[in-house]
Each structure stands twice: as C-alpha cells, then as structure tokens.
Amino acid sequence: MTAGVPLLEVRGLTKSFGGLTAVRDVDLTLQQDEILGLIGPNGAGKTTLFNLLSGSLPRDAGSIRLRGREIAGSPAHRTCQLGLARTFQVPRPFLSLTVFESVLVGASFGRRGGGEAPWARAERCLRLARLLRRRDSRVAALNLAERKRLDLARALATRPYALLVDEVAAGLNPSEVKETVHILRRIHEGGVGIIYVEHVMDAVMGVSHRVQVIDRGRTIAVGSPGEVTRNPTVIEAYLGGSDGGGESDG
C-alpha cells in the first residue's frame, strides 16, 4: 500500500546557525530498498543534515516525510520509534554497559511490534554485525571497528525502516572497511533503506545505488556513482572551492 511513496522524502530543509546557513533548501529522496550515498567536502553540512533528519536538531524550515508521514518536529527518541534510526560519526557507546546490553537498549526502546522478544532481536543484530563473540564484553574494551559495528547493531535493533549511517568506514583499515561495507549490504538486504554519509570513496561508491553531493549546505549533484564522479561541478567542489574564488556564504 506504500508502493510509489518514497521511503524518505525531504523538501526544502533549511538550518542556520547565526549567520551561517549550514543546510540550505535541501531536497532528498530515498526510495524503498535503496542505498543513497551522501558525499561532499568537509563542512558541507552532511552531519547537520543527519542531525535534522533524526530530530537531534530543530529545523528552521522544510518537511521530512517517512513513508508518507510527516515527522519533522518530532524529538530524537520519537523519530527513532517511528522508524528512522541513525549512527554517529564518532561512535557514542554506553561505556559501562556490555555489548549485549547496549544493543538491548535499541531493541527495547525502538519501533514497537515485530513479534520478536527484545533479547532475541538484540542477538540477531549482534550476529549480523559480527559481534556475537563479544556479547558479554564491556563496551569500553572494544576497538574502533567494533564500536562502529556496535553503533550499527544498536541502530538496527530499533527496527528502522530507514537508517542514517554516518562515516562508518572512516578510520578503519582496508579489511575492516570491507567487512563494514558487507554488513551494510546485509542490513540493506534485510529490507532497510540506507542513507550513507562517507568520505571513504571506495566504500560509498561501491555500495550506493545513487549518490547525492552536497557543498556549502546545498545539493550540487544527484546521480549514479559514475555520473557523479564525472560531474564538473562536483570535481570543482572537491578540488577548487577552497581558493576563495567563489561567493561567500551569507
């Protein structure tokens, strides 16, 4: 019955901090069953965009529809319960809890329903994130790659329709990146739509169906990974841009 309605549809999203417009009139569409890459130079507004979508920051203007339902203005916990979950650029673990307990938080407080006991869902998500072996370890004992996968497992345990993944490959070695991308694919195969912010180009270009490029708070290109990498505006944003030739943001 939701056929034809995009999983996530964002229109005219805007956010300013004082005089700086971090996100300006951004439109974004995530189709059912899609991985959308979101790239852009540092400071382009990608993480601010995630904070707006997930309800961590109040927006100035714009609409956010999840499966046709307006969710803009919902606080962070409500957004999660409605089925839009996120991970953090720098993992934010519950340090004194065990790995299992951390994922159980997501499984206990996320979107209701599913007919599966929270502990069973927590174990399933741990297995998918390849952390079952570390089930009873303290989170404080995990390394960076494991913490990133734990963030993914915790978000997945909330039963999201759509998942916002923020730089899950940053700082990892090539084999860890490969493993993490594999886990993203598995999550996607499980029926979860993903918006994936990433600077590691191999990872994001390899896994995304479409890529949207953001620069200075604005969308400058959308298309397949191949189209986007050939786009002159995108090349300009990544390679030029910083010599101060362009107009400054008001």
Partner 1 sequence: MTVFGGRRPAWRLWALAVLAVALAAPILVANPYTSRLSQLLFLNVALASAWNLIGGFAGQISFGNSSLFGVGAYATAMLWLAGVPPLLTMPVAAAAAAAYGAAWGWPCLRLRGPYFAIATIGVAEATRIAVNQFDPAGGASGLTLPIEQDAGGGALYVMGAVLALGSVLVSDRIRRSRLGLGLFALREDAQAAAASGVNVARQQVVAFAIAAALTGLAGSYYAQFTLYVVPEKVFGFDLSISLVLMVLVGGIGTVAGPILGAAVYLILEQFVLASLPDIHLAMFGLLLMGIVLFEPGGLAPRLAQAGSGARSLIRRWRRPGGTS
Residues of this chain that bind partner 1 (CB under 8 A): 54, 56, 75-78, 80-81, 85-86, 88, 92-98, 100-102, 104-106, 108-111, 136, 154-155, 157-158
Question: Considering beta carbons, is residue 56 or 219 the nearer one to partner 1?
Answer: 56
Question: Considering beta carbons, is residue 109 or 238 the nearer one to partner 1?
Answer: 109
**Amino acid in the structure at residue 201:** M
Compute φ and ψ for 176, nearest 5 degrees.
-70, -40
Residue 56 C-beta: closest distance to partner 1, Å: 7
Question: Considering beta carbons, is residue 114 or 240 the nearer one to partner 1?
Answer: 114
Residue 230 C-beta: closest distance to partner 1, Å: 36
If one counts every other C-beta atom within 10 angstroms of the C-beta of residue 190, the result is 11
CA distance 105 to 118: 9
Question: Considering beta carbons, is residue 21 or 87 the nearer one to partner 1?
Answer: 87
**Amino acid in the structure at residue 92:** R
Residue 115 C-beta: closest distance to partner 1, Å: 18
Contact assessment for residue 103 and residue 159, using Cβ atoms and an 8 Å cutoff: no
Q: How far apart are the first and last CA of the chain?
A: 44
Question: Considering beta carbons, is residue 24 or 86 the nearer one to partner 1?
Answer: 86
Question: Considering beta carbons, is residue 12 or 75 the nearer one to partner 1?
Answer: 75
If one counts every other C-beta atom within 10 angstroms of the C-beta of residue 209, the result is 15
User: SS3 string of 21-65?
Assistant: EEEEEEEEEECCCCEEEEECCCCCCHHHHHHHHCCCCCCCEEEEE
Residue 94 C-beta: closest distance to partner 1, Å: 4
CA distance 148 to 146: 5
Question: Considering beta carbons, is residue 136 or 243 the nearer one to partner 1?
Answer: 136
Contact assessment for residue 156 and residue 184, using Cβ atoms and an 8 Å cutoff: no
Contact assessment for residue 74 and residue 27, using Cβ atoms and an 8 Å cutoff: no
Residue 167 C-beta: closest distance to partner 1, Å: 15
